[in-house]
Structure 1
């Protein structure tokens, strides 16, 4: 009788990514993945010690794909912006995995590549070494939060989107002007959180980089 096929680590990660693409981290399980592969959970635990470790590896694979072919170009701000856009685009193609990345921080090769490039770019800016870790952390939190929030919107079904839009219109346009005077005043110009994600991402990242640049100018 032939034994069960032995799956490679890369094949397991590919299958996990596909399972997560059509589901989410909450419903994902090693047992479900084993069923897709036609094997048992114990065989997968030879590659990954836990579900969390597996999820981190899948998210890191997406980050690695984002950095494929990357070459530093331009000044320090252009380099950081290019990396942020690459990571954003990669998770935009796998929105379900963005939440995994935000929840299960990765320390794999992909994450190290991003960290190295951002840290190198911050050094190239002229920031003192003592200030770079804190600046890096702020950028990482901002970028990961924006990407995770944007991905959350992309996973909403058309029906859920329309329902949310209707609730937004009722809540904002129908706000009592006596109780919510500012909301009533600006109601027709306000947009739901899911709108205008592209310019918001660019503007918030640019503002963070401009703040670093202003600090550098103040030192001169």
Structure 2
């Protein structure tokens, strides 16, 4: 179904007196996903929540997939709201990554559905332009900037999806999973499992938190090594909330 241009869409109130708009439909879809998860997002349920004929949604979105892309782009807009690149490419890229990861993990029911999507919409266009600009201004070629941006965003979205999945587990499951590190791995005999035994306490501590900040640091160290070969990597950055937690864990 062809999307009707905004200027041609009817602004007629629904039977409940609400005037439909792109923004209202997206916000209502987000609310439904908060309440019911991804399975709660259907055109029928959306129509009921809006007090409108479900078919009216198709004046704004081609189908449910088109709506999901709009929801994903709205989430991108949240972490870009007050973001401004700084003079140092490494700190700027780290800030952007932590923002993306934190925003997605804060909305686990939405991010598990949208993290892998390519929206082609304004907020996504902005973040890609920003990311490539950060890398090109640092001194990477256009081809290197594209490859590094690909690695950066997939690293960030991949960890966000993993940590968001952990946040949506049935209550109590996270605690039982975390307990395995102490109850099972810390008890394994050193003669049969010398490496696990040697690292057991460190494993129990680190596996309770998100590995994203550390993985991001390793990635940034790799960029630094390519950009300035022979120089030692910078000290690891501190202070991110993601350093201390894995989603809500």
TM over 0.5: yes
Residues of 1 paired with 2:69 and 2:189: CA distance?
46
Structure 2 equivalent of residue 67 of structure 1: 80
Deviates more, 1:176-185 or 1:16-25: 176-185
Structure 1 equivalent of residue 128 of structure 2: 115
| Structure 2 counterpart of 1:216, from 210, 227, 235 | 227
Structure 1 equivalent of residue 115 of structure 2: 102
| CA positional deviation for 1:159 | 2.1
Residues of 2 paired with 1:193 and 1:90: CA distance?
22
Structure 2 equivalent of residue 11 of structure 1: 24
* Alignment check: 8 A CA contact 2:104 2:111 kept: yes
Question: What is the RMSD computed on CA atoms of the aligned residues?
Answer: 2.6
How many residues are matched? 217
Q: After superposition, where does 1:160-175 map in structure 2 within 5 Å?
A: 160-166=173-179, 169=182, 171-173=184-186
Q: After superposition, where does 1:1-220 map in structure 2 within 5 Å?
A: 4=15, 5-166=18-179, 169=182, 171-173=184-186, 182-191=195-204, 195-197=208-210, 200-218=211-229
- State the TM-score, normalized to the length of structure 2: 0.76
Uncovered stretches (5+) of structure 1, i.e. residues with no partner: none
* Alignment check: 8 A CA contact 1:56 1:100 kept: no
Secondary structure of 1:7 counterpart: coil
Residues of 1 paired with 2:201 and 2:89: CA distance?
39
Residues of 2 paired with 1:118 and 1:102: CA distance?
17
Structure 1 equivalent of residue 246 of structure 2: none
Residues of 2 paired with 1:150 and 1:107: CA distance?
25
Uncovered stretches (5+) of structure 2, i.e. residues with no partner: 1-12, 232-249
Residues of 1 paired with 2:37 and 2:14: CA distance?
31
